[in-house]
Each structure stands twice: as C-alpha cells, then as structure tokens.
Chains A and B, each alone.
Chain A
Amino acid sequence: MAKKTDETQKSSFADDPINKKLSAEEKIELLRQMTRIRRFEQTSLKHYQGGAIGGFLHLYIGQESVAVGSISLLGDDDHVITAYRDHGHALAVGMSMNECMAELFGKKTGCSKGKGGSMHYFAPDKNYWGGHGIVAGQTPLGAGLAFALKYQGKKGCCLCYLGDGAINQGSYHESLNIAELWDLPVVYIIENNGYSMGTSQKRSSAHPEGGLAARAEGYGMAWDKLDGYNIYEVRAGVQKAIDRAHNESRPTIVEIDTYRYKGHSVADANAEKYRTKEEIQKYMTDHDPVENWKQTLIKEGVITEEDFKAINKAAGKEADDSADFAAKSPYPDESEILDDIYWEVDNNTAAGRTGTHFFQP
C-alpha cells in the first residue's frame, strides 16, 4: 500500500532545501514532538481502559510524522483544521498535554472546558480550528478559512486534514470544486491509513491508478502522494503545496500513506479482524515513522540511543503528569451547561439580553 521509496529518493528528500536548513535542535524537536504524541496516546489509552475517559478515542499512534512534519512548516498566517483523530495535530500546534488530557477526562481544565471531548479540540490562538466529529464535515471549513486568508490579503494557507474514508463524502468534493474554482490557498492532506473504519480502501474507494489524491485531476487541481514513513518526505512534499498556496493561491491535495496501529477508535472491536495481525506487525517493525526518524538522527550523528531514551522518558513523564493533572482537576459545574452557546449572551450584550434564548422548562 505505501509507496516504496528507494534510497536515492530518501536522500534527495533529506537534501530538499526545507530539510537542509533544519538545525540539529529542530530535528530533535521533530522527534520529541512525535514521541510526545505517541506517549500521550498510549497514556490516554491506558486511562480510557481504566474508565477515566468516556466516549470515543481515536488514537493517532503510527501517524505521528504526518501532523508533526507538516505542521512544522507553518508560519503565523497558516492555519490547521482536522477531523476527529485530532490529538496529534493539537500537540503539534503547541497545545499542552494538560489541557488535552483534561479534556479527555471531561474536566473543567480541558481545552474545551470538558464540552468537546476527544474529537473536538480547538485552539484558535494557535490557528487550530478543530477537531471535527463528522467525517469530511471540516473540509468546507478548511476552504472557508483559506477564503478568509485570501480575502484579508494574507500570505497564508490552511492545512485541512482528512482520513482516506472522508474522500467519499460529498462535502469534500464540493470543497475541492470550490477551492480550485476560486483559487483558495488550502492544502487537503489525506492521511491514508488504508481503512475507513473497518472497510479497506479496496472495498470503499474507486480511484485512479495514481491513488486517492489523483482524483484531484478531475478538478484540474495539483496533487501529490507521499510516504509518511519518512518525515523528510512529508516536509519536502507538503512544503511544495504550501508554496503553491502562498505564492500562487492554489489548492493541492496531498495524500500521505500512513498506518494506524490501533483500531478506528478504541471501541473498534474488530481492529485485528479486518486487518491481519501480521499486517499490523509489519508496519510496526518496518514502517514506524518515529523509529525511522530516530534511526535517521542516530545515523546523522544528531542523537544517540541514550538521547532518545531521555526524550521518550520525558515524554512519558509529561503524559503521566498530564493524566495526574486531569485526574485532580474538577469536573465542570452544572451551572456551565448554558454557557458558550450564544456569543451575545456570554458577552452580556444588549442583543444577548433581548428575548428568551433558552427554553428550559
């Protein structure tokens, strides 16, 4: 499924200007971010299984290079929006583990004050617009954010992430048409983990030989296909799409092959039935993006195995500490139920004080 990248290509991605200019510290930071995401997800899984977290939990383990690699390229006027598998992007844009974990625990200290849960993280101050629960529902919003940037004359773009299952929703296709028609600076990043929930790509998506992103040709849109195994490749490929958005105000679809080690959500009881154990194991041993980046940095002489152990240990501690923070935080108060529904009411404006807004019997 993942495109085979040969050694020559791998070195050429490393030599791409956007990667060439990475300092040792920046390379280590990429590793640290991926490791933090993994440890956060492992810790959240533990507490979900322990009963502290309710609802759904869509884990990002195995896909870390996609969010970390692409978000590492963004500037002040670049924005991010994604679907429900949103923890990785949240940490990559700079949200804290504490606020993210507390949200999972349904606590007042959570990023959405306990009102959104796992699928609905937001941080507008970090240009992060969610965290959306309905498959592909965020794809028109991504075009809308890009529309606003263009309208305001900003040289920015919106990275709009979606899963491979989302490409069959109508709202996505409507968004593609509008994005290309209006030259919107949006980059659609398909995180192709091969399965729309329990249905394999083969059983869910008709597409050209080139892959899922190749459907872009139907809209006359640029597209690319990358291997998420190698974060150099993610960065080099996504940078091209960002450049197209910044310099030409044109959209791109970038498909990044990746893999989720866990089920669609933790509630997915068949995660090892629609895929073989061997397939999952193969990815874990041969295609792990964190392990690959670690080995790359060891080979480059940037870190040692010991350095990684320290990074991993620190990330694990940070995750455990966030769970402690979440556990100790108070639940929201029932008095907060009617807050954050209407801006005008929350801000006690004349409009917010006129007429009945709530109809609680």
Chain B
Amino acid sequence: MPREITYREALREGLDEELAHDDNVIIMGEEVAEYNGAYKVTEGLWKKWGDKRLIDTPISEAGFIGVGIGASMLGIRPVMELMFFSFAYVAFDQMMNNAATCRYMSGGLIHVPIVVRGPANGGTNVGATHSHTPENIFANMPGLKVCSPATPADAKGLIKTAIRDNDPVYFMENTLLYGEKGEVPSNDECENGEFLIPLGKADIKREGTDISLIAHGRAVITALAAAEILAEEHGINAEVVDLRSIRPLDEQAVLDSVRKTHKAIYIEENKPFCGIGAQISSLIMEQAFDDLDAPVLRITSSDSPAFYSPPIEEAQLPRPNDIIEKTLSIC
C-alpha cells in the first residue's frame, strides 16, 4: 500500500530530515518555532530540535532574511520561512541584491546557500497584499533559483534538494495545497535511502498525445482535472507537463512534449505580463516553431490585483473549464 501524506507533512518531513542531515541547517521565520508555524508546516520541529535550530523572528522580513543571508556566507544553511511570499517585497533589497548578486560582485568568492520558502498564491480571499505570485519576478534575476511544487512528493523531494543546493533557492508553496494528500515514497522504498528531486527537472504528470498542458504550482492540479474531462467528454488525450522548477528550467521536457503533441497551452496562477508562460511560449516559438500546429496559448490569473470577494476571486484564477475551452479552440 503506497504511503499517502499531505503536502504540509511532506514539507515537514523534508525539513526534519535535512535538520538531521546537516547541523548547519536552521529554520528561521515568523512563528516557525513555538507557534508551530502559521500554516503548521514546521509543527513539532521546535519541540524536537529546540531553540538553536528553530528560531522565531520578529516581524522584520528585511532584517531576518538579511541575517540569514549573512549567516549563510559563513556556512550556515538557513531555511527562511516567509509567512506569505507576498512579504518578500519588504525584504526585496536583501533578496534581489544581497542574495542574488554577492556571488557575482565578488567574482565568485562568496556563495549564499539560503532557502526562502513560503506560500505564494491567491485564491484564499485575503486581498491583493497577501496574494502575490512573484515566481516570475525572482526567476528574472540571474543568481536565484525558483521552484514551485504541485504535489506532496515534489514538495518533499525539492525542499531537500533546495536546502542542499549551494545557491539561493526561493521555494514557492501554496496554502491551498497544504492539506492535499498524495503518494510520497518512504525512505525505505528509495534507492539511496532518501527521496530527492533535482532542481531543473520537469515531470510528466499525465502522458498524452494531443496537446501539451504545461504548468507549474497549483495550476498543474487544475490542468490534470481538465485533462480528465477532456479525455472523458471530448476524446482529447492531453499531456500535463509540470515544470516543478522554474529556474533552472527543464527546456528539453517542454520541447519534447510539444514535438509529440504539436500544440501547447501554458497554465499558471501568475499574472500574464512577462509571466512564466511568456517565457515558455518564447522557448517553443524559437525552438519548436515547425512542430506547432497552432499558436501557443496561455491561461493565467486575471491581469488585475486579487479580488477579495470569494466567488469573484475564484473566477480570477485558472479553472478547469478555462483550460477545456482554450484546448477546444485549437484541438
């Protein structure tokens, strides 16, 4: 019987294992220790690992993210929790200048092995300030790595890899996925006794032949739901490609899928302007133009700040029906 755990538990398991794996790993952020995490991702870890490894911070994102970056220069491997990735904007100078450019400006003398993780999603009726999806903003900056897992297994495998990576990794989760269950292999079932997923490696979440639905984050789950309906009701066999990691990017997986299906839609909960889909469209246009039977289409969140009113906000985000309609327009 395969083991099923939630996305939240999978993250916690990954964090716990990395705390055991390396004494220099610490977890720092608002409410991560005694409160057990605002979204309970770190629940129980403070009790197990104590004050030295689990550190509650004041509400000072610029201050504590900067402390983490400084500490990482001397060999600490801080995993910084942002209660919401929206709060990265208060720490923007630290995250864009100090974490991303110190290596370059020092001619390679310094590296910053830091992870900044937290939920980066809308759809929870908390208004625009708490609903930002900045994966495209951070992935735009050379020196940074960005990933966005959609499933519990990817959440665990990627967080462990992110912590071991020697570059800054911004790890974007989703509060709507924290409670979702999925299969995650136990360590006994893994070849080397542990479950790691490399950054820069996409995953085919559903094999198909008629169209490539390419996505990251929760949009992958939406795409999978749409793919089932497309198969059942329209006889269209869609392939769902989950990027998992945005930078580094598995360009080959995208191109391979498009060369097979000849049609592509990018689906994301990010904004449309210079979003991840824009980058992927450009990639496909430049490198697989002759393989295309239709223009590459995009489905994004609406090009507006997040609406508070619950039914309207739901309409702002990609829904299975949006994907079905767009698919039918080219299939």
Q: Hey, which bits of chain A sit against chain B, CB under 8 A?
A: 79, 81, 110-116, 120, 122-124, 129-134, 137-149, 151-152, 170-171, 174-175, 177-178, 181, 339-344, 346-347, 349-351, 354-359, 361
In the assembled complex, B247 has its CB within 8 A of some CB on chain A: yes
Q: Are B70 and A351 in contact (CB under 8 A)?
A: no
Chain B positions within 8 Å of A141 at CB level: 66-67, 69-70, 73, 98
Q: Are A130 and B106 in contact (CB under 8 A)?
A: yes
Chain B 38-77, CB-CB to A under 8 Å as 1, else 0, gives 0000000000000010000110101111111111111110
Q: 19 new A-B pairs (CB below 8 Å) besides A145-B71, A343-B103, A357-B247? A: A111-B107, A112-B109, A115-B106, A122-B102, A122-B105, A130-B110, A134-B93, A137-B94, A139-B66, A140-B62, A140-B70, A145-B74, A147-B71, A148-B70, A170-B62, A355-B200, A355-B247, A357-B248, A359-B279
Q: Are A178 and B109 in contact (CB under 8 A)?
A: no
Chain B 101-143, CB-CB to A under 8 Å as 1, else 0, gives 0111111111101000000000000000000000000000011
Q: Are B58 and A178 in contact (CB under 8 A)?
A: yes
Name the distance in Å between B90's Cβ and chain A's nearest Cβ. Answer: 9
Name the distance in Å between A215's Cβ and chain B's nearest Cβ. Answer: 16
Q: B60 — nearest CB in chain A belongs to which residue?
A: A174
Q: Are A175 and B166 in contact (CB under 8 A)?
A: no
Chain B positions within 8 Å of A351 at CB level: 161, 165-166, 198-200
A356 to B282, CA, bound (A): 14
A139 to B98, CA, bound (A): 11
Q: Are A341 and B142 in contact (CB under 8 A)?
A: yes
Name the distance in Å between A166's Cβ and chain B's nearest Cβ. Answer: 13
The 10 sampled A-B contact pairs (Cβ below 8 Å) are: A140-B62, A140-B64, A145-B73, A147-B71, A148-B76, A177-B60, A343-B166, A344-B165, A354-B200, A356-B200
Partner of A341, one of B63, B93, B103: B103
Q: Are A144 and B62 in contact (CB under 8 A)?
A: no
Q: Are A124 and B248 in contact (CB under 8 A)?
A: no
In the assembled complex, B201 has its CB within 8 A of some CB on chain A: yes
Q: Are B64 and A116 in contact (CB under 8 A)?
A: no
Q: Are B71 and A144 in contact (CB under 8 A)?
A: yes
Name the distance in Å between B166's Cβ and chain A's nearest Cβ. Answer: 4
Give residues 190-227 of B contacting A (CB, 8 Å).
198-201
Chain B positions within 8 Å of A149 at CB level: 74
Chain B 211-251, CB-CB to A under 8 Å as 1, else 0, gives 00000000000000000000000000000000001011111
In the assembled complex, B27 has its CB within 8 A of some CB on chain A: no
Name the distance in Å between B197's Cβ and chain A's nearest Cβ. Answer: 11
- The 9 closest A-B CB pairs, nearest first, are A355-B200, A144-B70, A140-B66, A174-B63, A355-B248, A141-B70, A113-B107, A340-B108, A148-B74
A143 to B113, CA, bound (A): 17
Chain B contact residues: helix, strand, loop or mixed: mixed
Residue pairs across A and B with CB atoms within 8 Å: the count is: 189
In the assembled complex, B322 has its CB within 8 A of some CB on chain A: no
In the assembled complex, B155 has its CB within 8 A of some CB on chain A: no
Q: B114 — nearest CB in chain A belongs to which residue?
A: A144
Partner of A122, one of B69, B106, B143: B106
Chain B positions within 8 Å of A143 at CB level: 63, 66-67, 70
Given contacts A124-B109, A141-B98, contact A171 B71 (CB under 8 A): no
A201 to B167, CA, bound (A): 39
A355 to B161, CA, bound (A): 14
Q: Are A178 and B97 in contact (CB under 8 A)?
A: no
Name the distance in Å between B103's Cβ and chain A's nearest Cβ. Answer: 6
In the assembled complex, B26 has its CB within 8 A of some CB on chain A: yes
Q: Are B107 and A147 in contact (CB under 8 A)?
A: no
A339 to B143, CA, bound (A): 10
Q: Are B167 and A124 in contact (CB under 8 A)?
A: no
A65 to B94, CA, bound (A): 30
Q: Are B106 and A140 in contact (CB under 8 A)?
A: no
In the assembled complex, B286 has its CB within 8 A of some CB on chain A: yes
Chain A positions within 8 Å of B67 at CB level: 140-141, 143-144, 147, 175, 178
Name the distance in Å between B168's Cβ and chain A's nearest Cβ. Answer: 9
Chain A positions within 8 Å of B198 at CB level: 350-351, 354-355
Q: A156 — nearest CB in chain B belongs to which residue?
A: B74
Q: Are B109 and A120 in contact (CB under 8 A)?
A: no
Q: Are B97 and A133 in contact (CB under 8 A)?
A: yes
In this complex, which of B109, B145, B250 has the most chain A Cβ atoms within 10 angstroms of its Cβ? B109
Chain A positions within 8 Å of B282 at CB level: 361
In this complex, which of A130, A174, A178, A340 has the most chain B Cβ atoms within 10 angstroms of its Cβ? A174
